Amino acid sequence: MSAEFQIILRVVAIGVGATILLDLWSACLKGLFDIPSTNWAMVGRWFGHLPRGRFVHNKIADASPVRGELLLGWIVHYAIGVGFAIILVALFGPDWLHQPTLVPALVVGVITVVFPFFLLQPGMGLGVAATKAPRPNAARLRSLMNHTIFGIGLYAAGLVSALLFRQ
């Protein structure tokens, strides 16, 4: 396997692994504290409206459904996780793959909270940084916690990848 292909494979695996940890975290919050997780069908609906030229909705739940929106939402969720892993390796270099450290992964996890704050939440009708959510501060804190967990997931998946691809 070429070195370039191995890097691509590892970055994809790290993004998927970190996203799985985030989903496990969300499931624990739901199971233990009845804290609802993201409705991926609504994310799929929002994303499905983008090619139609509709970026901002007053309330995404009121928008017309998109065929396969739940599956689309999950695909987008995991693709974004892989995209954030690409950002990690682009910012900190492929050497991070050989010796993963926590701080760069956390930095990427926390910094990427700008995407829901300034892209997804406004587009879905929740306002910038969830200003229109029923409990804006709780929504912001949950986003920050989720992205922190995702950063920890990047690190953990990076460690597993480094062990599996040791040379």
Domain boundaries, the chain: 3-164
CB-based contacts of 7, cutoff 8 Å, min separation 6: 89, 94, 97
What's the Rg (C-alpha) of the chain? 17
pLDDT classification of 55: cutoffs 50, 70, 90: very high
Specify the pTM: 0.95
d(CA 80, CA 70): 15
Q: Residues 14, 16, 19, CA angle at the centre, nearest 5°?
A: 105
Give the mean model confidence (pLDDT) for residues 76-86.
98
pLDDT above 70 for 167: no
Burial of 7 (0-12, 13-18, 19+ CB in 10 A): middle
- Residue 161 CA: distances (Å) to CA of 5, 20, 164: 14, 15, 5
